[in-house]
Structure 1
Amino acid sequence: MELHLETVALFSLKLAYETEDQSPILRDDLMMSDYEREAFGLLMRRGDVESIQTKVDECLSVALNAIGGVDTILGRELHRLAADFSAARTMEQLDAPLIALKDYLKNIL
């Protein structure tokens, strides 16, 4: 799951900050330091669902702004998927909405 969390963060930041005329954002970039697989792994070992959701929500907010907010077609769907992720209360419940977010962000990149 750590990889999926890191990927959602990476795709969100790519969507918001990556442009054609500059180097691509990579997993080892400074902007990813708070969203590294190890950081998520620590939160997972603690079972800290709220902190995981907060970190992912930070990235999703940036992505949502980059695609024009909830008033756009892409924004409404991203907002819906983010709400599903935020509704999870256990680590096990994070899996399906996390994969849906990752796949959606990958598709709109």
Structure 2
Amino acid sequence: MDLQKWIGYADVKSAPVHFYVQRNSSFFPTGTPITFDRVWVNEGNAMNVTSGIFTAPNAGTYFFSFTGLASYPANNGTSWLDVTLYLNGHSIGKAWVHESDVTFLITIIP
């Protein structure tokens, strides 16, 4: 059996799902999904940019990557940037950075 031919999109039985979205302005609300104003790719239409919510069309494993830029006001005391990934309303991952750091921490909760 030629595995290269057997394993492929045609045998998956589901359509591909991936997205690449962008926000071009500041976002200050806490505890709310980030909405986006630029859609580069939304294959499968699983990402709702108006609500900021991704709805998985099928059960499975999904990979998410996030890049952000934080600007902290001078002399504002201690500031943090905190981004949380939720699954069905429950926190499953978190990334945060302190104003004086150049690195971040990620926690993935199984």
Which of 1 and 2 has greater Rg?
A: 2
TM-score using structure 1 length: 0.28
The higher-RCO structure (CA 8 Å, 6+ apart) is: 1
Whichever structure has more strand as a proportion of its residues is 2
The structure whose residues are more often helix, as a share, is 1
